[in-house]
Amino acid sequence: MNQLPHITKNFTFEGEVTSTGLYGNGHINETHLVITVDDAGKERQYILQKINKRVFKDPAGLMGNYALVTEHLRKNILARGGDALRETLTLVKTVDGKNFFVDDDGEFWRATLFIVDSASFDKVERPEQFYQSGVAFGNFQALLRDFPAHLLAETIVNFHNTPDRFRQFSEAVAADVKGRASSVSDEIAFVREREGFMRLFEDAYAAGKLPLRVTHNDTKLNNILFDKNTGDPVCIIDLDTIMPGYAINDFGDSIRFGATTALEDETDLSKVNFDIGLFEIYTKGFLEGANGGLTEAEIAYLPESAIMMTLECGARFLTDHLQGDTYFRISRENHNLDRARNQFKLVSDMEKALPEMHKIVEKYAK
Ligand code: ADP
Ligand code: GN1
Ligand code: MG
């Protein structure tokens, strides 16, 4: 059943819409699968998303980025003989030729072609899959290397500015709007003890040691679609946060989500362990995909980036728990607290494994 006729009628979908339904496991946007059938009985699928305006304050700027980046990727993919309709996202225009539709409530909607015979994963199923995702994200950065960064709107200001995340966390603790701070004092202390570490990359940037590049900024495994038949990565999705950033954070965020023995919201922490074997194969893949494009300083910081992104994400989950779960979508009580504890367990594991992580990076950087 088409539950969104007032929205779907504004897009140039081929055929008649026969059904719409919620889809996927993203924490941010509202994602729907749209199915259409044409007169000849041919079925087509599309993804329709309501952009989360609480998270993305400038949805029109975001869609400007989206159109520019997908066009750039399309050209680069075609130039190397690839299938652009499958290897990057393709926007479906509205009936009046625009890249997005604004409804009567001021909500922003966009549609893309559905990448058929593909799937995304919330957990690494085979080590080879994680290796390939490293190649894919490394290569994605390489594809964006010639993209003019000044054209990009900053879709979330200070997105991976970790000291600023610490500031927001501290404000949430002080405000304690839900009266939850006293029940999470251990978790609050865990973040506070690492305030100095959280400045590492911003200090390095200020000292001219880290370059600003065009990066994805949300490189978790479920933001890659894999081919259902071959298992190979097909397309990198979730392009909302593409903006200037540090290349190493794309590495670190993938490790955060993927190099673990459990899901991101597993509550039994005895099951949540950092998997150094997965760290190693992702490192190998990412450096191959980046194809010599990283500086020595960037490579040297890769292990710390894994800790930084995991700590930052944990602090963001904890902040959202303190603020009453207004940012990340939750599906149970204390969901964001569970996620925060899970991330902090990984941070502790990674801190212990840091010397070994450095040795691994050195091995593949040669
Ligand atoms: P969020 O920002 O909320 O994470 P995503 O853009 O990542 O939203 O989409 C959520 C999920 O929907 C993805 O993890 C993926 O499974 C699925 N998805 C999104 N776009 C497509 C597409 N074009 N083709 C197939 N699946 C898609
Ligand atoms: C969000 O949009 P999604 O679900 O792919 C978040 C990331 C977090 C991630 C944690 C725009 O990613 O920054 O790392 O959840 N995206 C945004 O799972 O905040
Ligand atoms: Mg996503």
Does ligand 2 come within 6 angstroms of the Cβ of 319? no
Q: What distance in angstroms lies between residue 159's CA and the mean position of ligand 1's atoms?
A: 20
DSSP H or E run through 6: helix 5-8
For residues 342 and 318, give the distance between their C-alpha atoms in angstroms, rounded to a whole number: 11
Domain regions of the chain by residue span: 4-114, 127-365
Q: What distance in angstroms lies between residue 25's CA and the mean position of ligand 2's atoms?
A: 10
Does ligand 2 come within 6 angstroms of the Cβ of 165? no
| Residue 35 phi, psi dihedral angles, 5° rounding | -115, 135
State the alpha helices, DSSP H only, in 80-192: 84-87, 127-143, 162-175, 185-192
- Where does 127-365 sit in CATH, by number? 3.90.1200.10
For residues 74 and 97, give the distance between their C-alpha atoms in angstroms, rounded to a whole number: 19
Please give the pLDDT value at position 366.
79
Does ligand 2 come within 6 angstroms of the Cβ of 250? no
Ligand closest to 238 (CA) is 1
Q: What distance in angstroms lies between residue 229's CA and the mean position of ligand 2's atoms?
A: 27
Whether the Cβ atoms of residue 286 and residue 138 lie closer than 8 Å to each other? yes
Same fold, 4-114 and 127-365: no
Does ligand 2 come within 6 angstroms of the Cβ of 284? no
Residue nearest to atom 15 of ligand 1 (CA): 24
Whether the Cβ atoms of residue 247 and residue 217 lie closer than 8 Å to each other? no
Q: How many CA atoms lie within 13 A of 79 on its CB side?
A: 7
Assigned token pair, 197:
């570490």
User: Could you identify the atom of ligand 2 that is nearest to the CA of residue 56?
Assistant: 11
Give the single-character DSSP code of 93.
P
Series of mean pLDDT values for 10-residue runs along the chain (366 residues): 95 98 95 98 98 97 97 95 97 98 98 97 97 96 90 96 98 98 98 98 98 96 97 97 96 98 98 98 97 96 99 99 98 98 99 98 94
CATH class of this structure's domain 4-114: alpha beta
Does ligand 2 come within 6 angstroms of the Cβ of 51? no
Assigned token pair, 130:
């994680």
For residues 288 and 308, give the distance between their C-alpha atoms in angstroms, rounded to a whole number: 22
The pTM (predicted TM-score) of the whole model is 0.96
Assigned token pair, 258:
């993927």
Q: What's the gap between Cα 294 and its chain centre?
A: 20
Residue nearest to atom 12 of ligand 2 (CA): 27
Residue 8, Cβ density class (10 Å: 0-12 exposed, 13-18 middle, ≥19 buried): buried
